């Protein structure tokens, strides 16, 4: 057997072409956001920025309560992140550090929820939210997933690998109550894992389409993915405005990712290889 | 101010008995060492005193208060962990003052007490640093400082020096002994290191299989061990144990037994003689033996010696001036008078 070694320029070419293919949709989204509907469908399609951004934004805001939808998206994503971090860290800490009856069975149950396909949850979710009177309310989007299996699992692994039990015992001897130990000792040490889970949760909430589709009824309560979808119709879609909305919706995530990609990647591997 | 008394203490995990009844009175101001092989229950007993493990049966009294159900922080004990267990996200000063902060002590008072403890341990210049910026020895000092700040009635040490390298361990051993004299507090110290046990303790409780095999002053345990186990646990190299020879045993075995057994009665099944109590004579004198391995340590030499008929090699410790021994050399063995321990069939000492 002999091994192939790609010359450096060949490797860069492959990676470069791959990157272009991946980036093309983003590029066209931003370009189309500045062109009118007729420009977009001209041949060849526009490849550089145009002058119709303001006009598109005008169409967008006249068709939709766009800024309100953006605000609701932001509110749901932030609340979802905060609640998920709180409950998953508590759950993960408990499963990692405490001994209690039925612990293994309970953990198996939590993990088991990951086996249920999300489509099976759609109708029950609607019925439960309806029974609670939470239809058209943002809390229907951030409360149900606050203690989710993935988050609890991630936290449990991280606590298990990076918080020695003696630390908790030392705090106990120092007169710290159990809630105090969680808040003053455990939570600060979980920061890398909290950062990772926070990012994942924020992104998932921001992009969530099915969830709002099930529980949000009136356009004033739509989140962005739902609102932008409402802009489309079989016969008459304002593609320029749609692209403008999509581009604006992408910006928070891009900023978030630029600020924290290092954390996101390192956090996903910490605990795994420690 | 720091009396600990254990009365019939037991610990079970399900059907497994880990501690099988420990009775112990630790005097005020005493330095008590728990020593024993791993799994003997010494750490579990310490953790029960600390309140980190529940007590299955028996009573724990600290200064006349029944402490079985007390919360760890109410027992007046402070613990120094093997892994130091410093809070990584707090500075040294915050680590040391954490218990006071939990107790609601005002900030200036906290700083004063932390400062004083830091002075005792000579770590004042480290107060603003984080644990990750400290060496192992410095972390250990901070962990001890955190205990001192609480002004406990009883200090509990769980193998505090085993993560340090050898030379630092010696320094910290001396430091801890000095600290004990300075603070005058009761200290209970768990270790598996017999040198620490022998040098630091006022008294030693030697644990074996969930019980205290013997309790007493270090030299008392060394010179008058209650059982074979105690005799062989303390002392390095290990004590030599020689079985009573059968009628068909080789002459050398018989001869050695004769020399050792002058004082022993009929119930004696095994004799113990420490390596430093065996003497090396020129070949032809004493009990005939062969050197299998000689370890020359500079100040002394350890000879591993075969005597015909005895299964295991005998350890002989001789002063360096007498260390001419080399592998394969034939020598004679003699025994210093009066230094022999005799054990019966139940492994208890009879003489």
Of B77, B83, B102, the CB nearest to A166: B83
CA distance linking residue A88 with residue A94, whole number of Å: 10
Contact A174 B89 (CB under 8 A): no
Of A164, A173, A189, the CB nearest to B50: A173
H-only helix segments in chain B:
42-50, 92-102, 107-121, 136-149, 166-183, 194-200, 218-223, 228-233, 251-260
The helix (run of H) or strand (run of E) holding residue B155 is: strand B154-158
User: What are A222-271's pLDDT values in tens digits?
Assistant: 999 999 998 888 778 888 899 999 999 999 888 888 887 776 666 555 44
- CB contact A189 to B (< 8 Å): yes
Say if strands B77-80 and B31-35 run parallel, antiparallel, or are unpaired. unpaired
Of A166, A167, A174, the CB nearest to B73: A174
Per-residue pLDDT at A169 exceeds 50: yes
- CB contact A194 to B (< 8 Å): no
Contact A170 B51 (CB under 8 A): no
Closest CA to A194 of A75, A93, A111: A93
Per-residue pLDDT at B233 exceeds 90: yes
**Residue in chain A lying closest to B77 (CA):** A173
Say if strands B31-35 and B203-208 run parallel, antiparallel, or are unpaired. parallel
Percentage of chain B exceeding pLDDT 90: 66
Q: Which residues contact A176 (CB under 8 A, 6 or more apart)?
A: A184, A185, B73, B98, B102
User: What are B172-185's pLDDT values in tens digits?
Assistant: 999 999 999 999 99
H-only helix segments in A33-100:
37-40, 53-63, 66-97
ipTM: 0.85
**Residue in chain B lying closest to A189 (CA):** B89
Q: What is the DSSP string of B171-221?
A: HHHHHHHHHHHHH--EEEEEES-HHHHHHH-SEEEEEETTEEEEEE-HHHH
Q: Quick check: helix, strand or coil at residue B350?
A: coil
Domain A65-231 has CATH 3.30.910.20: no
Chain A: nearest CA to B86, how far in angstroms? 7
Of B72, B82, B103, the CB nearest to A173: B72
Per-residue pLDDT at B24 exceeds 80: yes
Instruction: Determine the average pLDDT of the residues in B153-175.
Output: 91
CA distance linking residue B29 with residue B3, whole number of Å: 8
- CB contact A170 to B (< 8 Å): yes
User: What are B83-138's pLDDT values in tens digits?
Assistant: 999 999 999 999 999 999 999 999 999 999 999 999 989 899 999 999 999 998 89
**Residue in chain A lying closest to B155 (CA):** A173
A-chain residues near B73 (CB < 8 A): 172-176
Name the residue with higher pLDDT: B255 or B56: B56
Chain B: nearest CA to A171, how far in angstroms? 8
Of B72, B83, B150, the CB nearest to A172: B72
Q: In what order do the strands lie in the sheet with B314-319?
A: B278-281, B330-335, B287-296, B300-306, B314-319
Contacts 24+ apart (CB under 8 A), B195-201: B195/B236, B196/B33, B196/B35, B196/B161, B197/B33, B197/B35, B197/B234, B198/B222, B198/B234, B199/B173, B200/B31, B200/B33, B200/B173, B200/B176, B201/B31, B201/B32, B201/B33
Please provide the average confidence, as pLDDT, over all residues in chain B: 90
Answer whether A132's CB lies under 8 Å from A143's CB: no
pLDDT band at residue A274 under the 50/70/90 scheme: very low
Answer whether B20's CB lies under 8 Å from B213's CB: no
CA distance linking residue B251 with residue B245, whole number of Å: 10
Answer whether B107's CB lies under 8 Å from B93's CB: no
Contact B73 A173 (CB under 8 A): yes
């Amino acid at each position: 057997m002999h091994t192939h070694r790609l010359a450096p320029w060949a490797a860069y070419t492959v990676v470069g072409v791959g990157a272009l293919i991946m980036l093309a949709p983003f590029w066209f989204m931003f370009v189309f956001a500045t062109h009118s509907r007729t420009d977009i469908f001209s041949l060849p399609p526009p490849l550089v920025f145009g002058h119709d951004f303001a006009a598109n934004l005008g169409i967008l805001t006249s068709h939709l309560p766009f800024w309100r939808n953006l605000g609701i998206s932001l509110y749901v994503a932030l609340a979802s992140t905060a609640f998920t971090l709180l409950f998953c860290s508590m759950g993960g800490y408990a499963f990692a550090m405490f001994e209690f009856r039925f612990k293994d069975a309970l953990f198996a149950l939590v993990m088991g929820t990951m086996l249920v396909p999300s489509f099976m949850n759609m109708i029950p979710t609607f019925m439960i939210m309806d029974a609670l009177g939470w239809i058209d309310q943002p809390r229907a989007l951030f409360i149900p997933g606050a203690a989710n299996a993935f988050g609890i699992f991630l936290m449990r692994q991280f606590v298990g690998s990076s918080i020695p039990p003696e630390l908790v015992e030392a705090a106990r001897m120092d007169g710290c109550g159990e809630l105090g130990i969680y808040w003053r000792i455990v939570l600060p040490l979980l920061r890398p894992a909290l950062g990772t889970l926070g990012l994942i949760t924020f992104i998932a909430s921001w992009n969530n389409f099915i969830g709002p589709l099930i529980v949000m009824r009136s356009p004033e309560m739509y989140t962005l993915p739902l609102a932008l979808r409402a802009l489309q119709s079989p016969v008459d879609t304002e593609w320029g405005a749609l692209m403008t909305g999509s581009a604006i919706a992408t910006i928070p995530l891009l900023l978030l990712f630029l600020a924290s990609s290092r954390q996101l990647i390192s956090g996903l591997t910490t605990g795994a290889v420690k | 101010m720091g009396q600990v008394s254990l009365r019939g203490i037991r610990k079970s995990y399900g059907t497994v008995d880990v501690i099988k009844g420990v009775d112990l009175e630790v005097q005020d101001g005493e330095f008590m060492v728990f020593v024993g092989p791993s799994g003997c229950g010494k750490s579990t007993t310490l953790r029960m005193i600390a309140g980190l493990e529940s007590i299955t049966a028996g009573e724990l009294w600290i200064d006349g208060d029944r402490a079985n159900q007390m919360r760890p922080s109410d027992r007046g004990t402070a613990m120094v962990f093997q892994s130091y267990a410093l809070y990584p996200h707090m500075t040294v000063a915050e680590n040391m003052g954490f218990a006071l902060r939990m107790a609601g002590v005002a900030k200036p008072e906290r700083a004063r007490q932390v400062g004083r403890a830091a002075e005792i341990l000579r770590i004042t210049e480290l107060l603003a640093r984080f644990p990750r910026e400290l060496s192992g020895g410095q972390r250990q000092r901070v962990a001890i400082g955190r205990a001192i700040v609480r002004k406990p009635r009883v200090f509990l040490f769980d193998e505090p020096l085993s993560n340090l390298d050898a030379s630092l361990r010696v320094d910290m051993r001396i430091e801890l002994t000095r600290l004990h004299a300075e603070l005058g507090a009761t200290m209970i110290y768990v270790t598996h290191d017999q040198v620490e046990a022998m040098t630091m303790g006022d008294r030693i409780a030697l644990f074996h299989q969930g019980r205290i095999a013997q309790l007493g002053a270090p030299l008392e345990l060394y010179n008058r061990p209650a059982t074979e186990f105690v005799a062989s646990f303390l002392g390095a190299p290990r004590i030599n144990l020689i079985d009573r020879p059968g009628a068909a045993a080789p002459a050398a075995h018989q001869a050695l037994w004769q020399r050792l057994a002058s004082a022993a009665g009929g119930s004696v099944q095994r004799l113990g003689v420490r390596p430093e109590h065996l003497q090396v004579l020129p070949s032809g004198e004493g009990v005939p033996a062969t050197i299998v391995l000689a370890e020359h340590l500079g100040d002394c030499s350890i000879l591993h010696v075969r005597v015909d008929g005895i299964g295991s090699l005998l350890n002989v410790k001789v002063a360096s001036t007498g260390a001419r021994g080399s592998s394969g050399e034939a020598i004679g063995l003699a025994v210093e008078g009066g230094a022999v321990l005799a054990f019966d069939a139940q492994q208890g000492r009879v003489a």
